[in-house]
Amino acid sequence: MNKPEWNRRDFIVKPLVWAGAARMLAGTNLLSATADTAKGALLERTLGRTGLELPIVSMGVMNADVPGILRCSYELGIRHFDTAAVYQNGRNEEMVGSVIKELGIRDKVVISTKQGIGASVQNPVDAKKRFIGISTHNTVEVLNAVVPLNVFDVALVTLNYTMAHDAEMLATIEKAAKSNIGIVAMKTQAGGTVRLDAKLPKELLPESQTALLKWFLNHYFITTAIPGFSTYEHLEQDFTVVRNLAYTDAEKKFLADKTFTAQAEFCQQCGQCREDCPKRVDIPALMRSHMYAVQYRNVSMAGHLLAKSEAGQGIDACRACHSCKAHCWNTVHIARKISQLKELQLA
């Protein structure tokens, strides 16, 4: 089927400014798995119309700066690595390309990378096939806009357990999958670390990590997840789910305890809080920046996102306010997070 002609204005304007376009660079002979088959086969799913078969757990490389973790990921069985031009000021792409070249596995892995709209395209490694995708934090609006276009092969969307109540979002993602768009999930563990107070870190327990992964992977329309592990321990924890998505008793107990959703304070990016702000500050962007800086410990990415805010709609507008009037319709303590961003002096 021929794809319709379209231009950037037709597909969507504001919601994709950083979401941008994702480029899926794929090789052939995809899965020559090295995993121990005696432990059970890796669960694989087809990535939409691309026809690529991927293990249900992939790697989000954004927070990783240790090449050894990529090597270990491949040895365990991971075959899809997600990066972006902006991660670590381009060094992340370079690291991914270098490791894959060193291992000689270009024909055995899939790489996805992202560029902001209007950015020049620079491939981190030689592309043998290319699929076009989108990456967005505004899932419902963007998917509803792009599905009718029949242009995109892959969509990288935000989905985690704190969004379990959002029937519209789940239905929209499922609709996109049924239109043969391959669905990849990010922000799968709601930031990875729950910090009720920035000075008192509280790491998620192993059963919590795996329960969160299994929850959305039990939605058949999700092809694979890209948890952003940056330690060998987290890699091993996340990869334990790839052979069996049945919940353990400990995982069932965790999911039954609804306190996690409140404690995670995960911003749903709905934007309703902006109506309370006299200056209409881009609070969702500030909440993402806080997640990068405090939970991911990725100050560089937080600073990059803050710098992209339009004048008068970013953290600069908040500095003159002594009390925040914005209210979250879910569980985010907006005032506290903005106060912490001010203290960090990222922009």
From the list 288, 305, 284, the residue with the least C-alpha distance to 296 is 288
Mean pLDDT over 53-59 rounds to 97
The pLDDT of residue 192: 65
Who wins on pLDDT, 262 or 217?
217
Mean pLDDT over 170-180 rounds to 97
Q: Is the pTM of this model over 0.95?
A: no
Q: Residue 182: how many CA atoms within 13 Å on its side-chain side?
A: 25
Structure tokens at 233: 């321990």
The pLDDT of residue 73: 95
State the DSSP H helix or E strand holding residue 9, giving kind and residue range, or none if neither: helix 8-11
Average pLDDT, the chain: 83
What is the rounded radius of gyration, in angstroms, for the C-alpha atoms of the chain? 20
Dihedral of CA 71/76/78/79: which sign?
positive
Structure tokens at 61: 């490389």
The pLDDT of residue 135: 93
The pLDDT of residue 311: 84
Nearest-angstrom CA–CA distance, 153 and 155: 7
From the list 108, 112, 96, the residue with the least C-alpha distance to 28 is 108
Model confidence pLDDT, tens digit, residues 199-254: 444 566 778 889 999 999 999 999 999 998 888 988 998 899 999 999 999 999 99
Domains belonging to the chain, first-starting first, are 15-247 (3.20.20.100), 272-344 (no CATH)
Model confidence pLDDT, tens digit, residues 306-345: 988 888 889 999 988 888 989 998 899 999 999 999 888 7
The pLDDT of residue 139: 92
Q: Do 15 and 141 meet the contact criterion of CB atoms below 8 Å apart?
A: yes
pLDDT band at 11 (very low <50, low <70, confident <90, very high): very low
The pLDDT of residue 5: 44
Nearest-angstrom CA–CA distance, 78 and 230: 14
Over 80: is that where the pLDDT of 40 sits? Answer: no
Which residue type, as a one-letter code, is found at position 208? S
Residue with tokens 């939970």: 295
Over 80: is that where the pLDDT of 149 sits? Answer: yes
Mean pLDDT over 84-88 rounds to 89
Nearest-angstrom CA–CA distance, 322 and 345: 16
